[in-house]
Amino acid sequence: MNRRKFLKQSAFTTAGTMLIPHFLKAYEAQMMGQGLAASNGKILVVVQLSGGNDGLNTVVPYRNDIYYRERPTIAIKPEKVLTLNDEIGLHPAMTPLKALYDEGLVTVINNVGYPNPDRSHFRSMDIWQTASDSDAYLQTGWVGRYLDAACAGKAQQPFRTIEVDDTLSLAMKGNSLNGLAMLDPKKLYSQTRSNLVTNLSKEHSTNEPETVSYLYKTLAETVSSAEYVFNKAKVPGTNTTYPNGELGNRLKTVSQLIQAGVDTSVYYVSISGFDTHINQPGQQERLLGQYAEAVGAFMTDLKAAGRQNDIMLMTFSEFGRRVKQNASNGTDHGTANNVFLIGGGLPAKRVLNEAPNLSKLTDGDLTYSVDFRQIYATLLHDYLGVDDVAILGRKFNGVKIV
């Protein structure tokens, strides 16, 4: 492998899949020898519903005549709703989440969005992942900047934030450090010990350009993190049965890493398929059922391990859907949506704020009343115990959730 080929393949470094040459071991030892940055013991698990989940059919305003008028064929019938209060309830496929709510573990936040919303999947997801204004373009994510802050002046610790995936989201990329992406600790560890790039070490010199030096540094951080996570994850796994699906498998991995004592403060997972323009009811029912079953198993697992109050699970989607259904028995891209907070020792079951006002829409869409960065600020400052202003770039008034 020559240097040109190495640089072409450098995109793989953020996914944790690039193979690591042995000559970097000295660098690893130096960095890992500095010790771990302290954490407050709290863990945030972010679950991303990719595609723009329809919030109105997830948290259903079952007493609202406008909802049924605007959605004559896709609205959830009142008698099927899993009621939370006199105004709203959950989709009937979400029985495991309703059980968690009844246990006092779920907080529902309605009308979450941001000013001048964008209906593009890619752009809106970038805004949520970077915590930027809608007219600003950032190259770092809010979790990545948290990682920068958590490791400031300490050893480089990509494993401090882990995405259970084979690629790394923009949310996980910081100014000086990226999180670690992995699906399986053993597979990642094996990949970082391959001999396929041995010849690369022969071309390395101390006079490399800055970009190349950064790539070598990233590789070193990856190999160190892979070894750390692999060694920690050797303990026996969970006995809880998880649903056999993408989200179930990934939350099972998160639980195993938590119970193994991996020093990770933020985990990031996602489930896709929520772009329901056509024939929404069946597709969303299936996806929400998968989500609720996986989260239910995850929280049951953590309860059995005595960790339920140490872990906060936040669920979001990049935007909601329009109030009025379309001609294809589905919904089109909208704006404001709901966010779930689960676990974390929050106050007993509650809906934090008002239900969506369907009589005061903005261009046919829900009007947001909670900026999503207010939730981030509260989680960063009150839950993880870090400087939210430094990470988000300015002060956002928190919400009363912690």
What kind and span of H or E run contains 113? strand 106-113
The burial of 125, by beta-carbon neighbours within 10 Å (0-12 exposed, 13-18 middle, 19 or more buried), is given as buried
- The whole domain housing 191 covers 3-392
Classify residue 402: in a domain, yes or no.
no
Neighbours of 47 (CB within 10 A): 24
Classify residue 327: in a domain, yes or no.
yes
Classify residue 144: in a domain, yes or no.
yes
Classify residue 190: in a domain, yes or no.
yes
DSSP-derived letter for residue 77 is: P
- Whole-angstrom Cα distance, residue 53 to residue 120? 13
pTM value? 0.86
Classify residue 239: in a domain, yes or no.
yes
Classify residue 397: in a domain, yes or no.
no
Q: What is the CATH number of the domain that holds 96?
A: 3.40.720
Residue 231 pLDDT: 65
pLDDT along the chain (402 residues), means of 10: 48 40 43 52 96 98 98 98 97 98 96 97 98 98 94 72 94 92 72 52 52 57 66 73 96 92 93 98 98 98 94 98 98 98 86 96 96 98 95 95 76
- Whole-angstrom Cα distance, residue 372 to residue 340? 12
Classify residue 257: in a domain, yes or no.
yes
Classify residue 399: in a domain, yes or no.
no
Residue 349 pLDDT: 67
Residue 28 pLDDT: 45
The maximal CA–CA distance of the chain, rounded, in angstroms, is: 72
Query: How long is the chain?
Result: 402
Total domains, the chain: 1
Q: Are strands 59-60 and 89-90 parallel, antiparallel or unpaired?
A: antiparallel
Contact between 81 and 67 under an 8 Å Cβ cutoff? The reply is no
